[in-house]
Amino acid sequence: MRAVLVEEFGAPPRLTRVPDPAPAPHGVVVAVEATGVCRSDWHAWQGHDEDVVLPHVPGHELAGTVVAVGADVRGWRPGDRVTTPFVTACGTCPECAAGQQQVCRAQTQPGFTGWGSFADLVALDHADVNLVRLRADLPTSAAAALGCRVATAFRAVSDVGRVRPGEFVAVHGCGGVGLSAVAVAAAAGARVVATDLSPAARALATSFGAEHVVDPADGPVAAAVEHLTGGGAHVSIDAVGSPVTCEASVRCLRRRGRHVQVGLLPAAVGRPSVPMDRVIALELQVLGSHGMAAHDYPRLMSLVMSGAFPLGRLVGRELPLEAGPRALSELERPGTAGITVLRP
């Protein structure tokens, strides 16, 4: 099969031919029809994730069709159209037994612990626990985003941040996760303030339901959010994962506000300065959110199919698989509004 292969961290990957995967007894192989290019893939390419072993194929956000099924799989057959959370859970550990597969202690992750979806084919583990069936009327390119960015934002806003109608929600960063968080929060009846350095991303955030947008280049973001919300956000989401956005997210909260960290913060990007004195004095909550379990997808699918979430408009551009190396390198200097999707 064709795949985008990383042979040295940080060095240009290349499109080449590699052996086809075979399904594990509990797994499947999926023919990839669309795969998102995510900031997490950039971290993997740069060597920021200790689970990544070279040579490596990135990609964890996908939609496609099952083409091979392991002997122990019961619920899936070749021809099924699917996506999957980026955490492929084991299904048997204590966290999985409690329904919290997104923090499975024995998890695997395509594009991190194993080869991913920047390829014609990808192997996925524990299919009966992790696959999500896609409706025939859901466009493939948009469906790919459900595996990571949309599902991650949905759970971060709805379940971890517990956003309620009328609350002010600040979203820091308007890439795929951030735009999804804006749309989910707006659909929940929240009043959203979005921040991003890109004018195109800020414009898209407005079209996704943001009431206000803030350019970080104009001055301290926390002060701007406090002014626009009359005292600070009830919920603030760092959808970037940088020391600057993390600290701004905590500082822009009102009393008893809730900070949700979604963007990755690997040591290589620096450690944020979280003002714990402020956390204590204002009784702030500092929360982490890590994807979403497959069994939670029906709620997300209901939102998408209701039309309240503009999933199709999340895709900024579609590129062929051979453009994968270039698309990966462009994540270092974000400029394209919406997400980039590769079509093998």
Q: How far apart are CA 266 and CA 247, in angstroms?
A: 15
What's the pLDDT at 335?
60
What's the pLDDT at 171?
98
Query: Which DSSP category does 239 fall into?
Result: -
Query: Which DSSP category does 332 fall into?
Result: T
**Digit-coded pLDDT (tens) for 256-295:** 999 999 999 888 888 999 999 999 999 999 999 999 999 9
What's the pLDDT at 269?
84
Q: How far apart are CA 105 and CA 330, in angstroms?
A: 33
- Residue 294's region, left for phi above 0, alpha for psi from -120 to 50, else beta, is alpha
Query: Which DSSP category does 327 fall into?
Result: H
Taking alpha carbons only, the member of 109, 107, 126, 129 closest to residue 117 is 109
Highest mean pLDDT range out of 68-82, 257-271, 321-335?
68-82
**Digit-coded pLDDT (tens) for 21-42:** 999 999 999 999 999 999 899 9
Q: How far apart are CA 146 and CA 298, in angstroms?
A: 12
Helix, strand, or coil (residue 147)? helix
The average confidence (pLDDT) of the chain is 95
| pLDDT surpasses 70 at 115 | yes
One-letter identity of residue 114: G
User: Which structure tokens are listed for 254?
Assistant: 């009102």
Residues 6 or more apart whose CB falls under 8 angstroms from that of 22 comprise 29, 68, 123
Helix, strand, or coil (residue 179)? helix
Provide φ and ψ at 69, rounded to 5°: -130, 135
In this prediction, residues 167-193 reach a mean pLDDT of 97
Provide φ and ψ at 60, rounded to 5°: -140, 0
Helix, strand, or coil (residue 152)? helix
Question: Band of the pLDDT at 338, cuts 50, 70, 90?
Answer: confident
Direct distance between the N- and C-terminal alpha carbons of the chain, in angstroms, rounded to an integer: 10
Share of the chain above pLDDT 70, in %: 99
In this prediction, residues 138-165 reach a mean pLDDT of 94
User: Which structure tokens are listed for 28?
Assistant: 């499947």
Taking alpha carbons only, the member of 129, 146, 130 closest to residue 138 is 146
Residues in the chain: 344
> Helix 199-207 and helix 176-187: axis angle, to 10°?
30
